[in-house]
């Protein structure tokens, strides 16, 4: 794994953390006493990735509303986007898999790659601190961030979602408030967007509009309308 460390530009003090980050649960299921899987590190890494990207977008896009920031972040932390980052690091070749998962193409599986990438960020945070995790994440995700920021206009996800869905069926999306919490001056709304009876996305926001924008943004990323 020294080659991977060279790619990261960081040598782990605790090499066990690096191994754990790359250990799929299928291996521990077969040999539970020999190794720990990466699920706990994935849990931590998810928070690290969210924090680093949130801070970056907050500073890089000072004029953008919450809804757009949420939608951009959702694009960057989607399973597909994180799996692409893992592929840039060639994480697939370093995964420790059980025999069954190995035989079934586990090294190329999108979910395995995305999970391992988040676990790796969690391991970096524990071993080198948040600054090292931030440095590595921003280096690996530079291309993805540039593509999103230079791509199509994401300021109106509700309008874009409406266009996409009505091109498939005359029925448009429907939004509903799932929950509303907090005092009047500090409300948080959670909204869902549904289409033909299926929930396409969920979003949080300080207003109903912001929550709906975030839900539409997630729907555009997830594309759950396929097959409906």
Closest CA to 204 of 219, 189, 193, 218: 189
Distances (CA, A) of 175 to 68, 161, 195, 198: 17, 12, 9, 11
What's the gap between Cα 67 and its chain centre? 17
Instruction: Give the integer Cα–Cα distance in Å for 220 and 213.
Output: 11
> Which one of the listed residues 42, 101, 115, 118 is annotated catalytic?
118
Measured in degrees and rounded to the nearest 5, phi and psi for residue 174 equal -125, 135
110 burial via Cβ count (<10 Å: 0-12, 13-18, 19+)? middle
Is position 118 annotated as part of the catalytic site?
yes
Domains of the chain, start order: 2-150 (1.10.1520.10), 157-222 (3.30.160.20)
pTM score > 0.85 for this model? no
pLDDT at 71: 77
Contact assessment for residue 58 and residue 200, using Cβ atoms and an 8 Å cutoff: no
- DSSP secondary structure code for residue 96 in this structure: B
CA 127 from chain center: how many Å? Answer: 22
Please tell me which residue in 37, 42, 46, 127 is annotated as part of the active site. 46
**pLDDT score, position 74:** 84
Q: Which residues of the chain have pLDDT under 70?
A: 34, 151-155
Token readout for 93 is 């070749």
DSSP 36: -
The model's pLDDT over 109-149, given as tens digits with 9 standing for 90+, comes to 999 999 999 999 999 999 999 999 999 999 999 888 888 87
Q: Is 46 a catalytic residue?
A: yes
């Amino acid at each position: 794994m020294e080659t991977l460390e060279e790619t990261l530009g960081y040598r782990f003090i605790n090499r066990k953390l690096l191994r754990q980050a790359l250990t799929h649960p299928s291996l521990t299921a077969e040999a539970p006493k020999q190794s720990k899987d990466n699920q706990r590190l994935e849990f931590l890494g998810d928070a690290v990735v969210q924090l680093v990207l949130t801070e970056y977008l907050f500073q890089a896009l000072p004029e953008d509303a919450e809804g757009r920031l949420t939608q951009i972040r959702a694009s960057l932390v989607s399973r597909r986007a994180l799996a692409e980052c893992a592929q840039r690091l060639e994480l697939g070749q370093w995964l420790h898999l059980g025999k069954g998962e190995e035989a079934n193409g586990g090294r190329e599986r999108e979910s395995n790659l995305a999970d391992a990438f988040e676990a790796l960020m969690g391991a970096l945070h524990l071993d080198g601190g948040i600054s090292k995790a931030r440095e590595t994440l921003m280096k690996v995700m530079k291309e993805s961030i540039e593509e999103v920021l230079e791509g199509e206009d994401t300021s109106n996800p509700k309008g874009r979602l409406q266009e996409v869905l009505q091109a498939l069926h005359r029925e448009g999306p429907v939004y509903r408030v799932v929950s509303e919490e907090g005092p009047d001056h500090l409300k948080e709304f959670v909204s869902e967007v549904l289409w033909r009876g299926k929930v396409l996305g969920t979003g949080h926001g300080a207003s109903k509009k912001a929550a709906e924008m975030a839900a539409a943004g997630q729907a555009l990323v997830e594309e759950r309308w396929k097959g409906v």
